[in-house]
Structure 1
């Protein structure tokens, strides 16, 4: 793989944490504009050097960072424009609702849970008292840009109760060019190690990729707040199909045209060992009505062609493991398989990752990852070494100097055969100065010929106005 070098061109700066970067053409407009959604609830649009506010829903967003030292993964995490947005003005939001703060599903801090393979109680935890023991409520809404240029909420598609504050997904709403349906990626609910194994449970909304048929109108303006598919009214169940399960925390699903097909790319943020990217072309989604019927009959639904990423039994290419320091040698780590039985049960059913990259990597031309924050096919010609390949972003490079922190860009080739692939680091020529530069989001324009990178000076959403969005350009 050739060494690719790029530079960065600032587009907008001093904004709050940028979570979604997408382009669209406004109704009646003639240019494609970049839309930037921030975690706190702002959406800006940029075109011809003009920056405007498209929507501000900060008052609808839960108070961020108050219970976690400024860090948070809630907020506005999904924005998608209808394929016919230019004509119908429809767009969709996924965010955490103001005033919905709960005590959480487990006592203690949200990341405190670790399973103990010697204690079966920790391997079989149940999420009890869900109506009071939860962290917050997420909503998925349909909005419309009125003829007067003012956005207005039309209806709520889903209200989902979440057990913890983290793993709500990011760039969690995208439209499928194959089916025309809205695709929602939900994340496993949070904490660590998926305490309640929600991601593998067919009835749980958490840890899934779900298609929503927005052309079907349910006539339910405010759906009930739920955690399981069978708690939804039948009219809403009939709008939903499930593409995949076994997701931990997914930074969106991306589509790349390949002859008469689309390759689907799905990143899965890892626990302690690896970050992973999966790809598939063919799949057979399961209607939610079938899943509910199978649960009622206590039977197994037909899962031929159904996608399973393997979490929580598998972390990418590895069985999920607990890492502890070796007392005999502090420079080494001891790895213990967390869920041995589940790793066996899902070993054959799961989809093998296209790539798993490591939190510790001794190879001189690689890097130690922290968290996958974006995956994006690149179909442009401006950066020849990347044309037709898949770019990904990691929050922060682990090795080397920790101050100031720098994120990482890398790429993988589209595979010609089914095997685990390797990656190449992209050299970024840009002077960030003394400030940290966490790579928090990755996006593209409509035909995937331009790439955009969201960078933040902190990992804490409460540290306001430290964000810059760049276009990735040839060096």
Structure 2
């Protein structure tokens, strides 16, 4: 793959950590606006060369950064505009609700400390019990409306989700499918590490799935119940939902790229210890939630032909999930042990192979060691011809163990005509961040995917305010 170099043109500076970047056309306008959602609950748009506030829901967001030294993965993580937003004013939010802080599914223990022990079966068969009391927080997915010449207001709640741990809530978690017209929600596996309860592979668990929501079904239920499983939902809500994939660890959204009369779907899975993965698929079999709950109730077998499974927790990308420890025989090497052998065997045949993996450690001089995948977007523009038709992605930090200041990385890959996995290539940038750290936290595009936007932050602590810059990626 050819080497590509791009420029970064600053658009907005000194904002809070940007979680979503996308464009939309406001009602009664003709030009697209760039919208920026921040983790703390602000939504801005760029208009006439300045930043305008669209919505501020900071009072609705849980208090962030109270644990983990100020690092947090909760907050406002999803924003999507209805395909007819410029006519109907409808848009959708996914955020963590204020006042819902719980003790976590492992009360009194740091969730990130969990590791499976292949020699101790008790660590491989853990169950999330006492869910109404042992959880970390509640996420909500809501429909809002922008009335003509008025302020946005909440219209209805679509889902209330109880989450076991602080992390893996997804980011850029709401998008609309151009194929079905449905709202797509991408949920992480619930958090901690190694998916201790195997929620991502359990068909009935909402965690670790990619879900379509038919928002055109006008289902109004006052205060929907707070749930963790599909079978806990009222039938009216179940009827609006289909599942299109499982086996998700943590995910920076889903994106679509049109090929003739079909759409390529791209999803990234954030890795555990070894690799970050990007998956692509065209045909898929969505399974209605009513079918999932019915087959579970009858203990009957579900037809999985065509159903997408990304493989987690048994697989980390193209590799069996490993527990990594120091190698006692040689300090320069690590010992890797398959964490969930039975899970890896069970899901081997049915899982989707990734389009590309990139490693946390890569000795090749022209590659990089990744940390966490933060964005995956197709590019269909012509201004950077070397990237036309490719899929661009961002990683939080290049070579995680590098001394500060650190910097994220841009890269790209392509779908091969023979449908085999592909390698990737780094996209070099000409911007000088000088002595400041530059975490690449989000990636976005405009409506026709001819422009790319990059969100950069100077810290990974959400309590460190106003360190964000939004760039356009240019030739």
TM-score, length-scaled by structure 1: 0.99
Q: Are the aligned partners of 2:355 and 2:415 in contact in 1 as well (CA < 8 Å)?
A: no
CA displacement 1:414-435 (0-9 Å, x = unmatched): 2211211100000011011101
Correspondence for 1:103 = 103
Whole-Å separation in 2 of the counterparts to 1:145 and 1:24: 13
Q: Are the aligned partners of 1:31 and 1:47 in contact in 2 as well (CA < 8 Å)?
A: no
Q: Are the aligned partners of 1:367 and 1:399 in contact in 2 as well (CA < 8 Å)?
A: no
Whole-Å separation in 2 of the counterparts to 1:331 and 1:18: 38
Correspondence for 2:336 = 335
- Structure 2 unaligned residues grouped into runs of 5+: none
Q: Are the aligned partners of 2:438 and 2:458 in contact in 1 as well (CA < 8 Å)?
A: yes
CA distance 1:221–1:399, change in 2 (3 Å) = closer
Q: Are the aligned partners of 1:192 and 1:271 in contact in 2 as well (CA < 8 Å)?
A: yes
1:48: Cα distance to partner?
A: 2.8
CA distance 1:244–1:399, change in 2 (3 Å) = closer
Correspondence for 1:321 = 322
Correspondence for 1:225 = 226
SS of the residue aligned with 1:342?
Answer: helix
CA distance 1:342–1:116, change in 2 (3 Å) = same
Q: Are the aligned partners of 2:182 and 2:212 in contact in 1 as well (CA < 8 Å)?
A: yes
Whole-Å separation in 1 of the counterparts to 2:221 and 2:408: 43
Correspondence for 2:356 = 355
SS of the residue aligned with 2:343?
Answer: helix
Q: Are the aligned partners of 2:415 and 2:422 in contact in 1 as well (CA < 8 Å)?
A: no
- Structure 1 residues 436-455: aligned runs within 5 Å: 436-455=437-456
Q: Are the aligned partners of 1:32 and 1:47 in contact in 2 as well (CA < 8 Å)?
A: no
CA displacement 1:390-445 (0-9 Å, x = unmatched): 00000001178422101000000222112111000000110111010000000000
Q: Are the aligned partners of 2:371 and 2:400 in contact in 1 as well (CA < 8 Å)?
A: no
1:155 maps to 2:159: no
Correspondence for 2:177 = 176
Correspondence for 1:10 = 10
SS of the residue aligned with 1:200?
Answer: coil
Correspondence for 1:191 = 192
CA displacement 1:73-97 (0-9 Å, x = unmatched): 0000000000000000000000000
Relative to structure 2, which stretch is displaced further, 102-111 or 167-176?
102-111
CA displacement 1:345-364 (0-9 Å, x = unmatched): 00000000000110010111
Q: Are the aligned partners of 2:39 and 2:76 in contact in 1 as well (CA < 8 Å)?
A: yes
Correspondence for 1:310 = 311
1:48 maps to 2:48: yes
- Structure 1 residues 204-243: aligned runs within 5 Å: 204-243=205-244
CA distance 1:343–1:151, change in 2 (3 Å) = same
CA displacement 1:360-383 (0-9 Å, x = unmatched): 101111000000000000000011
Correspondence for 2:146 = 145
Whole-Å separation in 1 of the counterparts to 2:400 and 2:225: 46
1:328: Cα distance to partner?
A: 1.9
Relative to structure 2, which stretch is displaced further, 396-405 or 357-366?
396-405
Correspondence for 2:58 = 58
Whole-Å separation in 2 of the counterparts to 1:327 and 1:466: 42
Correspondence for 2:27 = 27
Relative to structure 2, which stretch is displaced further, 51-60 or 408-417?
408-417
TM-score, length-scaled by structure 2: 0.99
Correspondence for 1:80 = 80
CA displacement 1:90-122 (0-9 Å, x = unmatched): 000000000000000013112111000000000
1:69 maps to 2:69: yes
Q: Which of structure 1's runs of 4+ aligned residues deviate more than 3 A?
A: none
Whole-Å separation in 2 of the counterparts to 1:60 and 1:455: 25
1:90 maps to 2:68: no
Report how many residues are paired: 474
Whole-Å separation in 2 of the counterparts to 1:191 and 1:398: 22
Q: Are the aligned partners of 1:355 and 1:422 in contact in 2 as well (CA < 8 Å)?
A: yes
- What RMSD in Å do the two structures reach over aligned CA positions? 0.8
SS of the residue aligned with 2:412?
Answer: strand
CA displacement 1:292-350 (0-9 Å, x = unmatched): 00110112211111000000000000000000011221110000000000000000000
